[in-house]
Every structure is written in C-alpha cells, then in structure tokens.
C-alpha cells in the first residue's frame, strides 16, 4: 500500500473517533432524558395522613394504656398468624375447614388483614365509663353503638382477668372448653370487628358457642367467614397448633351435654339436691352490646 493511502486512512480514523456526534455521546444524552422522566417524590402522597397506631383515649391512665397497647399488639399477632396460616395452606387446612367449611379463603384473609394493616384512624378505645355499663356486673367492655359509633370502652374487669397471648394453652385453657375472650388478644379481636371501620357492619354474631360455629361452617359457610366467633376460634386454634404447642395445640374435648337418665320404677326415687355452681371473678358472665342494640352475654 502506498504511503499516501496509509496516511489518509489513519487521518480518517482519527477524525471519526473524535466526532462530537458519536454514538457514545448520544447514549449519554438519552440517559439524562430518562432521569428527567423518572418517578417524582409525589408517589407517596396516597399514604399521607395514614394512622398506624391504635388510638387510645386520654381517659386511660398509664397502666391501662400500657396493658391496652400490649394487648392490641397481641391481637395483631393473633390475626397475622391466622392470615398466614390460610395463605400457607388455603382451604386444605383442617382447621380452616373446621370453622369455615368450603368457603373461599379471600374473605377471612381480608378480615384478618384489616386488623393487621388497616388504617387505624377510624375508631377509638377509651377507659372511662361514659355510658355507665362498666358498673354492671360482668361487663368487660362494650361498643358504644349509637352513642358513639366509632368508640369502644374497655372496663376494669378486662385488665384484671384477661390473659396474655404468651400464656396460650396455659391456665387450663382449651379451645373447646374456654371462652373466646380468655385472652386479651382474642377479646380485642372481637371488639375490633364491632368497629364499623373494621367489621363494616358485616362481621357479626351468626353463631356463638363452639359447637354452633362448627355447625355454621357446615350449613352456612358464607356466614361462617364473617362470623365474629368463628374468626376468633380459628385464630386461637391455629395459633395454639402452629405456634404455642406446634403440632399439638390445646383443642380439648367438646363438652357433650349429659342426657337425663330415666328413673327406674322398681323402687322409690331418691331426691337429689343440685348445688349452685360457685361463681368466680374470672368465670363471671360478661356482656356487651351489638350494632343493633341487642345485649350479648358470655
């Protein structure tokens, strides 16, 4: 190759690499343009003003507030595990089938999720006695109903009798033989569902006792998934079986009503004396009001 041709080729290459309109320069310009079009800081505006703490009224003293905050946290723990149990096993879970039958899993997951992650600005817990109900024997708390739709009162009885969630399966507790309000967490779960912001007037009492809830799951599963007591029983049993005593739980044996034997006519029947059962403060009947104004006692 001639020297003049080789020199021309080298000069041409140097000119090409030094061109200001090279592909590299264009790519850098595009990058700057993409930065301008990136999402701005306004993307978090949708959550502005959200309430993440449970609202507790100033009527609660330091001790009551401390207990209530802990118990509400435990209610979230109970609901969260109930939701996670369903998400893990769906409706193949025997515990799920027991309380909700063949119902779709979406609704109970939603009710538990509302307790776990729903906005907490639409209701209020208070510790005074504005309606006078705490003065009645056996009242651990009540939803205020038409007096204040978004408020519930926690009476002194709750603070003195409710057990912590860490004691699950302790104190002789069994799912079948103990009240759903034995633990402060499950009691508050029930009270949260009374709040319109949580239960939406849909979670109600379609069945109450353990055996009634099991029957509801078989006959009306569409009601079981929005039955307050069924949601409580499920959350309690799932937590006991999965967390407290893994693989064992503390279901207990269902209480079977004893049948009255027919008296023999071969002799003179001997009269029996039935003694009234003793009443303790922890076994006292507890009452509260419902959204329709009716009174419910356990």
Closest to 105 measured CA to CA, from 72, 83, 123: 83
Domain tally, the chain: 1
Residue 28 lies in a domain: no
Q: What range defines the domain where residue 189 resides?
A: 51-244
Give the Å distances, CA to CA, from 102 to 25, 206, 223, 226, 242: 63, 17, 11, 14, 21
Residue 193 lies in a domain: yes
- Kindly report, residue by residue over 184-199, the tens digit of the pLDDT: 999 999 999 999 999 9
Q: What is the mean pLDDT of the chain?
A: 81
Strand partners, 297: 287
Residue 274 lies in a domain: no
Residue 113 lies in a domain: yes
Asked if the model's pLDDT at residue 109 lies above 60, the reply is: yes
Asked if the model's pLDDT at residue 261 lies above 70, the reply is: no
Within the chain, what is the greatest distance between any pair of CA atoms?
141
Residue 288, pLDDT score: 52
Distance from C-alpha of 81 to C-alpha of 53, rounded to nearest angstrom: 20
pTM: 0.75
Q: The CATH number of the domain where 57 resides is what?
A: 3.40.390.10
Q: Is 292 helix (H, G, I), strand (E, B) or coil?
A: coil
Residue 10 lies in a domain: no
Closest to 209 measured CA to CA, from 183, 228, 189: 228
Residue 175 lies in a domain: yes
- Kindly report, residue by residue over 139-177, the tens digit of the pLDDT: 999 999 999 999 999 999 999 999 999 999 999 999 999
Residue 100 lies in a domain: yes
Residue 183 lies in a domain: yes
């Amino acid at each position: 190759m001639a020297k003049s041709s080789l020199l021309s080729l080298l000069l041409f290459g140097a000119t090409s690499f030094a061109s200001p309109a090279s592909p590299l320069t264009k790519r850098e310009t595009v990058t700057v343009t993409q930065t301008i079009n990136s999402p701005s800081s306004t993307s978090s505006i949708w959550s502005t003003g959200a309430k993440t703490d449970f609202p507790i009224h100033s009527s609660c003293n330091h001790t009551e507030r401390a207990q209530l905050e802990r118990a509400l946290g435990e209610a979230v723990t109970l609901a969260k595990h109930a939701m996670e149990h369903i998400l893990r096993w769906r409706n193949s879970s025997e515990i799920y089938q027991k309380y909700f039958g063949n119902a779709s899993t979406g609704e109970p997951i939603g009710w538990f999720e509302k307790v776990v992650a729903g906005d907490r600005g639409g209701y209020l817990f208070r510790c005074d006695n504005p309606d006078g109900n705490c003065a009645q024997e056996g009242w651990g708390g009540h939803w205020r109903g038409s007096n204040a739709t978004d408020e519930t009162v926690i009476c002194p009885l709750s603070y003195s009798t409710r057990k912590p969630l860490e004691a699950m399966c302790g104190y002789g507790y069994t799912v079948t033989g103990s009240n759903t309000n034995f633990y402060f967490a499950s009691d508050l779960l029930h009270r949260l569902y009374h709040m319109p912001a949580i239960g939406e007037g849909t979670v109600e009492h379609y069945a109450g006792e353990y055996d009634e809830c099991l029957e509801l799951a078989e006959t009306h599963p569409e009601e079981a998934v929005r039955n307050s007591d069924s949601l409580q029983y499920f959350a309690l049993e799932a937590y006991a079986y999965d967390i407290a005593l893994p693989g064992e739980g503390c279901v207990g044996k269902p209480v079977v009503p004893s049948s009255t034997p027919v008296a023999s006519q071969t002799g003179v029947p001997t009269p029996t004396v039935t003694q009234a059962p003793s009443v303790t403060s922890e076994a006292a009947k507890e009452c509260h009001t419902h959204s329709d104004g009716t009174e419910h006692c356990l």
